[in-house]
């Protein structure tokens, strides 16, 4: 189940990436993976989707105030982690998964590759890959917090 949820989350992230590439509407593009991850949480799926979409938009708003829009994925993880586990442990785990998953590729690109002496001259969309990685990681981990 976690693998399927991760694949569905990644698919929603790819769909959001496509919407963002075509329209430049960040809230709409980020809403799609938020809805999908909330739906995959497994508790009252429609309410979970609404909560996930609201958490992404709320996190995006807070992130814009802090000048750090990637905060939306950590906020989504924290909200859904709390919702499925009803405790602080789920909140912290969800927040950390959301935060670390969106920073994995930049960490590899800007720290690990130069540390190993490898070139970092390839070009990729940091925000788009963060959307896919964040949705996949949260899609896998949030349902596991229910247990």
Question: Average pLDDT per run of 10 along the chain, which is 147 residues long?
Answer: 86 92 90 91 85 92 88 92 89 93 82 81 75 90 82
Q: Say whether pTM exceeds 0.75.
A: yes
Number of domains in the chain: 1
What pLDDT score does 117 carry?
A: 85
Taking only the tens place, the pLDDT of each residue in 18-35 is 999 899 898 999 999 999
What pLDDT score does 51 carry?
A: 92
Angle subtended at Cα 80 by Cα 106 and Cα 96, rounded to the nearest 5 degrees: 35
Which residues span the domain enclosing 86? 2-144
Question: Are the CB atoms for 77 and 91 separated by under 8 Å?
Answer: no
What pLDDT score does 68 carry?
A: 86
Residues near 111 by Cβ (< 8 Å), separated by ≥ 6? none
């Amino acid at each position: 189940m976690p693998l399927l949820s991760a694949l569905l989350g990644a698919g929603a992230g790819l769909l959001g990436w496509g919407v963002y590439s075509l329209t430049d509407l960040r809230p709409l593009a980020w809403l799609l993976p938020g809805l999908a991850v909330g739906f995959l949480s497994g508790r009252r799926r429609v309410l979970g989707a609404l909560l996930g979409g609201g958490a992404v938009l709320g996190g995006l708003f807070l992130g814009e105030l802090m000048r750090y829009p990637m905060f939306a994925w950590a906020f989504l993880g924290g909200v859904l982690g709390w919702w499925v586990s009803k405790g602080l442990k789920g909140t912290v785990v969800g927040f950390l998964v959301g935060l670390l998953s969106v920073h994995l590729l930049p960490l590899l690109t800007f720290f690990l590759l130069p540390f190993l002496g490898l070139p970092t001259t390839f070009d990729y969309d940091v925000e788009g890959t963060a959307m896919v990685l964040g949705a996949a990681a949260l899609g896998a981990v949030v349902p596991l917090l229910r247990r």
